[in-house]
Amino acid sequence: MKTLSTLFKNNVREYGMLIALIVIMMFFQYQTDGILMKPVNITNLVLQNSYIIIMALGMLLIIVAGWIDLSVGSVAAFVGAIAAVLMVNYHVNWGVTMLVSLLVGALVGAFQGYWVAYVKIPAFIVTLAGMLIFRGLTLVMLQGEAVGPFPTQFQKLSSGFIPDFFHYKGFHVTTILIGILLSTLLIVLDMRARKNQQKYGFEVTPFYFFVIKNIAITAAVMGLCYLMASYKGLPNVLVILFLLITFYAFITSQTVLGRRIYAMGGNEKAARLSGVNTPRLLFYTFVNMGVLAALAGMIVAARLNTATPKAGVGFELDVIAACFIGGASASGGIGKVVGAVVGAFLIGVMNNGMSILGIGIDWQQAIKGLVLLLAVFFDVYNKNKNV
């Protein structure tokens, strides 16, 4: 059996970031006199950061594959603009608009992926070009003006909440039920994984640690659900986020596809010589990024209820920072979905907390930059210590 200290040492990266997140949350909770954790602010926090997290999922795959995508902010704005023009100027049905928008995102991803994967132009250059191209096209689409408002159904994408089937006054019972269901599911899954590990003779964490861990997770899930339930229930965006995170965590850790992306990022030549069609895989990684950027673009537009030429400026930086804070390696092959999500939340909590405290955008940027540098320094330091 592993002792707690070795367990922590081996997973210092994952636990370290989680602890950093909790510490930062507690700090702001204290500094803001409890505003941070108020249900309405938590809901806001999720809405404000949902698009960063969604794009971080795609970005993580690209970074794991060994590349980078600088264009995601522009692509999100571009797709938001297309959706706006379709709905407002051409009165296209909101459902059709969403499908078309996702398709446009895929095409944009395919366009950039083609140059990177098949023509072998470095992604930094291709997506730098993409950043300019799609920002420019956004301006062209919107003719320099904000376009809106949108049909309510489309707005719901961002500002809606899941329906409550119980109509209990002032409390969202469905949310609590979902919370209970989810907690149970997580515990069952963790128990199964543990059993499997024991079956194959692997060292497992001490039982008490397993119990504490599950109690902590259950408490976090139920606490969040309780907070949400006492406001308006779970936001639609949070449900989308949860499904996406689960899906990508599954893809990266459990599937052939995910395994191949990591292998490609770890050693492209070895992966290719093992029969992995690396150009095609890389191409689809960019297509995936395009689709996620499109989804993020729609959520941004829906939230503001307009598409503006300036939407999404600088998003790429937050998204990339989230991945690196979450432990992804700039040279590829290393990085976890959960890490990127924690990284995105860390940035989100800092944005939100500092805004509540009235810290100006100037200092916010400087502090975020320092946190990014610190997080990566922590990585490098640990790596050197272990060698």
Partner 1 sequence: MSDVILEMRNITKTFPGVKALDNVSFSVSQGEIHALVGENGAGKSTLMKVLSGVYPHGSYSGDIYFKGKECRFRDITESEEVGLVIIHQELALIPFLSIAENLFLGNERAKNGVIDWNESISKTKELLDRVGLHESPNTLITNMGVGKQQLVEIAKALAKKVQLLILDEPTASLNESDSEKLLELLLQFKAHGISSILISHKLSEVSKVADSITILRDGATIETLDCRKDNITEDRIIRGMVGRDLTHRFPPRESKIGETIFEVRDWNVYHPLHEDRKVSTNVNITVRKGEVVGLSGLMGAGRTELAMSIFGHAYGTRISGKAYKHGKEIDISTIDKAISNGIAYATEDRKAYGLVLIEQIKDNITLANLEEVSDGGVINEPKEMTVTTEYRDKLNIKCSSILQLALNLSGGNQQKVVLSKWLFAGPEILILDEPTRGIDVGAKYEIYTIINRLASEGKGIILISSELPEILGVCDRIYVMREGKIVGEMPASEASQEKVMKYIMTQQEVVEQ
* 119 belongs to the binding site for partner 1 (CB under 8 A): no
Compute the least distance from the CB of residue 55 to partner 1, in Å: 24
Region at 259 (left for phi over 0; alpha for psi -120 to 50; beta for the rest): alpha
Candidates 136-144, 268-276, 292-300, 304-312; binding stretch for partner 1 (CB under 8 A): 268-276
Site for partner 1 in 239-258 (CB under 8 A): 254-257
**330: helix, coil or strand?**
coil
**Cβ-based burial of 361 (10 A; exposed 0-12, middle 13-18, buried ≥19):** exposed
Least Å distance between CB 293 and partner 1? 24
Q: Sign of the CA dihedral 102, 299, 244, 379?
A: positive
**Cβ 258 to partner 1 shortest distance, Å:** 8
Distance (Å) of CA 379 to CA 22, 142, 366, 373, 382: 19, 43, 20, 10, 5
The CB-of-277 to partner 1 minimum distance in angstroms stands at 6
Binding segment for partner 1 among 25-33, 95-103, 112-120, 260-268 (CB under 8 A)?
260-268
Map residues 16-55 to x or -, x wherever contact with partner 1 holds by CB under 8 A: ----------------------------------------
Residue 259 interacts with partner 1 (CB under 8 A)?
yes
Among 57, 123, 237, 271, binds partner 1 (CB under 8 A): 271
204/10 Cα distance (integer angstroms): 13
Please return the burial class of 375, using the count of CB atoms within 10 Å of its CB with bins 0-12, 13-18 and 19+. Answer: buried
Bridge partners, residue 147, by sequence: 307
Residue closer to partner 1 by CB (options 143, 254) is 254
Of 271 and 372, CB closest to partner 1? 271
Residue 267, CA distances (Å) to 97, 278, 324 in order: 40, 11, 19
Report the residue from 260, 303, 336, 368 that binds partner 1 according to the rule CB under 8 A: 260
Alpha carbon distance 114, 157 (integer Å): 31
The footprint of partner 1 on residues 288-347 (CB under 8 A) is 333-334
For residue 350, which of 311, 327, 322, 310 has the smallest C-alpha distance?
A: 322
Q: How many residues bind partner 1 (CB under 8 A)?
A: 25
Which of 31, 222, 272, 382 contacts partner 1 by CB under 8 A?
Answer: 272
Cα–Cα dist 107/110, whole Å: 5
Q: Provide the mask over 198-217, with x wherever binding to partner 1 is found by CB under 8 A and - wherever it is not.
A: -xx-x---------------
SS3 (DSSP) at 147: strand
Query: Of 248 and 262, which CB lies nearer to partner 1 in the complex structure?
Result: 262
Smallest distance, partner 1 to C-beta of residue 264, A: 9
Residue 255, classified by CB atoms within 10 Å of its CB into exposed (0-12), middle (13-18) or buried (19+), is exposed
Show the site string, 156-195: x = touches partner 1 by CB under 8 A, - = not. Answer: ----------------------------------------
380 counts as binding partner 1 under rule CB under 8 A: no
Beta carbons of 43 and 172 less than 8 angstroms apart: no
The CA-based angle 45-49-52, given to 5 degrees, is: 170
**Counting contacts by CB under 8 A, is residue 269 touching partner 1?**
yes
**Which stretch, 34-42, 79-87, 115-123, 272-280, contacts partner 1 (CB under 8 A)?**
272-280
Report the alpha-carbon distance of residue 55 to residue 346 in Å, rounded. Answer: 15
The answer to whether 343 and 17 are in contact (CB under 8 A) is: yes
Stretch that binds partner 1, among 54-62, 265-273, 304-312, 351-359 (CB under 8 A): 265-273
Which residues contact partner 1 (rule: CB under 8 A)? 196, 199-200, 202, 254-257, 259-260, 262-263, 266-267, 269-277, 333-334
